[in-house]
Amino acid sequence: EVQLVQSGAEVKKPGESLKISCKGSGYNFTNFWLGWVRQMPGKGLECMGIIYPGDSDTRYSPSFQGQVTISADESISTAYLQWSSLRASDTAMYYCARLRLTTVTRAAFDIWGQGTMITVSS
């Protein structure tokens, strides 16, 4: 079964750092772009960026460039999303999702992780 399994919910304080993960299984993790999508409470979906695990080529949406870092370790089929200094406005559900076509960036997200809820509060 093709699936993405994300790390668990986190509660953090403003200014703290954080790295969440997304582990793929059931497919060749190296060959498919993988993206991160933010959903703030009660709001819609925003694509943050995508990464190609095979060579770590990363593309960020303009709104998220410089705000987060996307990385991947193909040896363990895992992608990451990290913050160096969290803000209250980072409180949201974060999903990882796979692009449905190998190697290309212009594709829909066909497989989604279960989501990781991040709460940032003092």
Binding residues vs another protein (CB under 8 A)? 35, 37, 44-47, 49-50, 59-62, 95, 97, 99-100, 105-110, 112-115
The 8-class DSSP code of residue 90 comes to: G
* Shortest Å, Cβ 98 to another protein: 10
Q: CB of 113: closest distance to another protein in angstroms?
A: 7
Q: CB of residue 49 vs another protein: minimum separation in angstroms? A: 5
**Parallel, antiparallel, or unpaired for β 57-60 and 3-6?**
unpaired
Nearer to another protein, 83 or 109 (CB): 109
> Using the 8-state DSSP alphabet, how is residue 9 labeled?
P
Burial class (CB in 10 A: 0-12, 13-18, 19+), 33: buried
- Output 15 or 32, the one with its CB closest to another protein: 32
DSSP 65: T
Q: Which is nearer to another protein, 29 or 94 (CB)?
A: 94
* Single-letter residue type at 62: P
Question: On the CB side of 54, how many CA atoms lie within 13 Å of its CA?
Answer: 8
Question: Would you say 13 or 100 has its CB closer to another protein?
Answer: 100
